[in-house]
Structure 1
């Protein structure tokens, strides 16, 4: 299906998707603000700016931006070091300016250097984490903040220990809401439901959330089935428009004078981490995009930078593109960036007009929605596919999955990337030819055919290959196709000439060294000399002919 141009061209897909993203984003914004030890409204502001501002400037069709769990520890540390929330806002503005600069410096190309196996591992790991983290919310235990993706938590618990502690806090009402919501979502995924146009317009997650609100209302007042306030969404509820405006803060730029080194370090840290998370999310989102569109990464860095400048100026948390929200957008049928922008508008309107309604949404309903998102990211068929793709794909994939689940996003990606690079180096170090000395016939020649580019990475393999050549044999190193040869390799080949003499090995290198191409000035000189010689020969021949006559 080809997508039409225009903001409203795909509204029948983007509007339902934006509602789901909005419902997922509300508790994430609040949870990340709570975990970051900043005012709750700062998370909502970041969500609004991430949707509207970043959505407008971004070139990503399906990416959704907002406050990110990966920045929680950095935000806490920066605020403690700088001394105030307003100083943190100044660091966010500085980080935004740096990101804009990185975009113009074309630093977005970094995102293209992450291997496919690592990106798929990241998506799978996030899917598993979403499921594991939502199980406690699904049964009514909400000690862990919504949106946490790291293994260890501030209270000393971890992802798996929470599954044990939750058993002491089971809530029958929350469990029933989760089961009914899951049943609705599963039914909505069935082929017979998708054939009906009504059910394609009204998304299953929206129905699940509405049913959850109704059940929460029915259970009110019941000691066994009723939900407590910490099991529900908790948006700030300003009593008036002036009170709403009072939630916005402005940055303290005086910190640049008071603590110049501290503010610079905080700005750089936020800019670097936010940019890396964004580029990872961009790469992952493009992989999930059914249309396989490619996001311009430099433009995305600039968009994120503009978003962070605006968010910092009005009291919001730092922003990145977020894979959880982006995945929810894709899996809810979003087609263009209109869904991201509309979700930001919904956040703004909801805080202004009907926060009380949203505060009736049970976390259990949202847990069911996120279960589906997590499952689609970590389907068992993906593991089978990666296994079929071979050792070089499966190992970095599975290592990335385990590392992210056991640590956090950036550390896990780093470990997965290191393993992928190690495997690449390992295969680069393998012998460039096949030689079995047991099968070797003394009169036969051994040939090593070098590739077009021979770098220092091949040094150990070539040295090992030369060392296994038996005495009294012949060897040819064929470098006719080689265009670039590292000096280290040339030195090995030259040194082996001495070794070959002591072992009675007939040794020859063909095709190297290459004749250096002449420079333009040299070509002109040679042509001039050739012309002069030619003219002189013609003159001599003519004079000889005339003398004969």
Structure 2
């Protein structure tokens, strides 16, 4: 039975909220790390995504929080603008999402080709992998974007800390085993990421107790603020630099976040609707408004931008969530956790978070996705791979724009080919060329049709058929009329027009419903001789 009562399924929702909390905690920290932001910022966004967006959203299954898909944008933005100015961009992005919701732009994701979206996500996955490799090795090398990443990665492999590498390897082993061993996959209340965190802490504690040289020092551990008073707690929130609202760079980042976060959210909502056992539909415009309000609050409190996240949402559905109370519970647990046990959280090695992110990056840039688009042909693969590479080497926004341009070129090319069908057939009285126009013929098709007509051999016969056409651009009509009246006469070409509407002001030689046609729309042999005069 469908219910909007938040307390109708409290038992199952509290249990699933606990599962999502355990999944979200290491992800909030890890995504903040990958974004180059304060780790506490990831927790802030997780709390707001759970409590605020969870309450405002109409989705009963989806869970919002900091997203891996935004890390590349956030990292570059923080580097270029500074954190306080970046927070203004987050607030502006939230305001833009709110406006999009009121403008009923919830279907915006339908207008982006799937190959470009998948290429963008795969490119982000590669960026996450590249950025986390040095942290997984214990290297202090910072990997930037662009073609210099190869040299920087090489330098990172020259600066390895064995203790950190051991923790990374152990964490990766746990994460992989947890997803591969069927018996462990059934332990829904114990997410692999949480086990990896526990293993990472345990290994480092063993190093400490044995006075090993492999001990991971505090600079390579999570560093969350530990307030001892309410005043100290208030002081850990970063205040946005509102004076930077006129900075053009801030607006560019805000628009980029708006586009990527909105698309990622809408795609996640589409996916979670399928996971919902009660098959409830979600008003995507309401979701955009909820996300917008969440991002405005997150930016104001010093948090990262958020989206609806597939990892959390699928964990929520699998754990048996019935209403959005589950997402709210997960947010409340994050809040309680950061207030009560920050000292324990500060024992987590960064290497474990890097391992979690390496697996996320691999899932986003999975080789099977590349194979999938390769198998779908060049018109799907080229925009996909171009977007992926451009995102990695030229930046996310440039990569998406390039992918959209290439995809649009292929669409136009496909439309040009489908504007008409050209064939040559043999009849008793000789060869006849057929130009059958498609349902829609735009001005973009003029050049191709003109080339075809101009290349017809002298003394030939051609039938131009518009029987199936709904729309023909005036430019194309003028071209056909000019060809029949002038061009064809110059080359002794006999032209027959078929099926042109009266509104086109072109005189048909025969009507489209003339008996001249068979059901297969091929002219009868005996009628061909009547149409063309020798």
Instruction: State the TM bucket, normalised to the shorter chain.
Output: 0.7 to 0.9
Q: Which runs of 5+ in 1 are unaligned?
A: 517-549
Work out whether 1:141 is the aligned partner of 2:127: no
Counterpart residue number, 2:188: 200
1:394 is aligned, of 372, 381, 402, to 381
For residues 71 and 416 of structure 1, the distance between their equivalents in structure 2, rounded to whole angstroms, comes to 21
Q: Which residue of 2 aligns with 1:180?
A: 170
Distance 1:88 1:175 in 2: 33
1:230 paired residue number = 219
Determine which of 156, 159, 174 is the counterpart of 1:166. Answer: 156
**Structure-2 separation of matches of 1:4 and 1:477:** 61
Greater Cα offset, 329-338 or 434-443: 434-443
1:103 is aligned to 101
Summarize the Cα distance change of 1:248–1:401 in structure 2 as closer, same or farther, 3 Å threshold: closer
2:117 aligned to which of 116, 119, 131: 119
Question: Could you tell me which of 428, 433, 444 is aligned with 1:446?
Answer: 433
Q: Partner residue of 1:15?
A: 18
Structure 1 counterpart of 2:64? 64
Measure how far apart 1:389 and its partner are.
Answer: 1.4
> Are residues 416 and 48 of structure 1, via their aligned partners in 2, closer, same or farther at CA, if it must alter by over 3 Å?
same
- The whole-number CA distance in structure 1 between the counterparts of 2:339 and 2:170 is 31
SS in 2 for 1:189: helix
CA distance in 1, matches of 2:263, 2:180: 32
After superposition, the Cα gap between the structure-2 partners of 1:367 and 1:76, relative to the gap in structure 1 and judged at 3 Å, is closer
Q: CA deviation at 1:103?
A: 1.8
Aligned to 2:200: 212
Q: Do 1:133 and 1:159's aligned partners in 2 also have CA atoms closer than 8 Å? A: no
Alignment match, 1:426: 413
- TM-score under structure 1 length normalisation: 0.77
CA distance in 2, matches of 1:53, 1:428: 46
CA deviation after TM superposition for structure 1 residue 380, in Å: 2.5
Q: 1:451·1:482 contact (CA, 8 Å) conserved in 2?
A: yes
Counterpart of 2:520 in structure 1 is none
For the 8 Å contact 1:91–1:263, the answer to whether it is kept is no
CA positional deviation for 1:89: 5.8
Matched, 1:481 2:468: yes
- Aligned-residue CA RMSD (Å): 3.5
Tell whether the 8 Å contact from 2:436 to 2:466 is kept in structure 1 after alignment. yes
1:243 aligned to 2:246? no
Name the structure 2 match of 1:522: none
Give yes or no for the alignment of 1:406 onto 2:393: yes
Distance of 2:467 and 2:424 partners within structure 1: 25
Structure 1 residue corresponding to 2:262, chosen from 260, 279, 287 = 279
Distance 1:368 1:251 in 2: 31
CA distance in 1: counterparts of 2:358 and 2:241, whole angstroms: 41
Could you tell me how far apart the structure 2 residues matched to 1:215 and 1:446 are?
A: 79
1:131-171 CA distances to partner (integer Å, 9 max, x unpaired)? Answer: 33222222212554xxx9x724xxxx954333222223311
* 8 A contact 1:99–1:302 mirrored in 2: yes
Change (3 A) 1:248 1:123: closer
